[in-house]
Amino acid sequence: MFLVKRWQKRFFSSAHPFRWQLQLTVARSAYIEAAAARFYGGPVLGQEEILVVGCGQGQLCEELARRGAIIVGLDDSPSVLEQAERHARQSGLGHLIAYLRGQAEALPFATGSFSMVVCLQALEQVKDLRAAIAEMARVLAPGGLLVFEALNDSWPVRLLLGWPGRRRPLVLEQKKAGRPRGLIRPRELAFLLTASGLHPVEIGRFLPRDIADGGLIWSLSRVTRARYLGYALRLPPPRPDCSLCQGAG
């Protein structure tokens, strides 16, 4: 156990989060913007109200706000939300971002409240993944997009993370990061999305090639496809059978 901990400490010391975390945030925001543009056409973030589930300290929220979106950030940590609110005000973005406390499995919003929901780096933290996806699908308006990112469930990923038996702590991008509750393979996530009334449009690996100074961990992540992301469309409710309607008349 001591050797595993020492190896893990040495392994993660090759990463320099403060040098490239901003690059990752920008890259993720660009993907979100591109997904919306591909589906809706044209620059549309300025017309969207986006829910960011698991917003953390708000880096992604602020970057999306800079691109014109109205943001609602949700997290279950009061201290983290306090930091996010303070930083948003200091950045002059407080009027574009609202932060609320809550959990992904029980979103405090009405059905169909948002045109886009974003959940990056949070799916592996939820207690009930099926319930969380169902809730995110519920608060999406018909035709809305869910943009997601997840940790792949494969033996190279477990080996890479130094996390045997899914019980080891994981630190990828910032200190004091939470311990992931679970990994999921892309096809399994696609099944959960479909079961919740979402249509998976794209699922693929995510590690931008232009990330500088990412360290050994991101180089190996690119090879093992540790992380992947994509987006899914909220399908409209099924129409009633017209033949049955005519028969009833």
**pLDDT over threshold 60, residue 166:** no
Q: 216: which DSSP letter?
A: H
Say what the pLDDT of residue 164 is.
Answer: 46
Length in residues, the chain: 249
Residue 45 CB partners (closer than 8 Å, separation 6+): 32, 33, 36, 64, 67, 68, 69
170 near 201, Cβ under 8 Å? Answer: no
**Tokens standing for 63?**
């970057």
* Helices of type H across 166-214: 186-195
pLDDT band at 198, cuts 50/70/90? very high
pLDDT band at 227, cuts 50/70/90? confident
Q: 105: which DSSP letter?
A: T
- Buried b / exposed e over 143-179, threshold 16 CB at 10 Å, is ebbbbbbbbbbeeebbebbbbeeeeeebbbbeeeeee
How far is it, in rounded angstroms, from Cα 225 to Cα 205?
6
Residue type, 94: G
Q: 106: which DSSP letter?
A: B
C-alpha 143: how far from its chain's center?
A: 19
Q: 6: which DSSP letter?
A: H
Of the two residues 169 and 71, the one the predictor is more confident about is 71
**24-43 average pLDDT score:** 86
How far is it, in rounded angstroms, from Cα 75 to Cα 15?
26
Of the two residues 245 and 158, the one the predictor is more confident about is 158
Of the two residues 227 and 31, the one the predictor is more confident about is 31
**170-190 average pLDDT score:** 63
pTM for the model stands at 0.78
Nearest to 211 by CA among 178, 172, 176: 172
C-alpha Rg value of the chain to the nearest Å: 19
Nearest to 70 by CA among 41, 42, 50: 50
**CATH class of the domain whose range is 2-236:** alpha beta
Residue 107: CA count within 13 A, CB half-sphere = 27
Average pLDDT, the chain: 77
Say what the pLDDT of residue 23 is.
Answer: 78
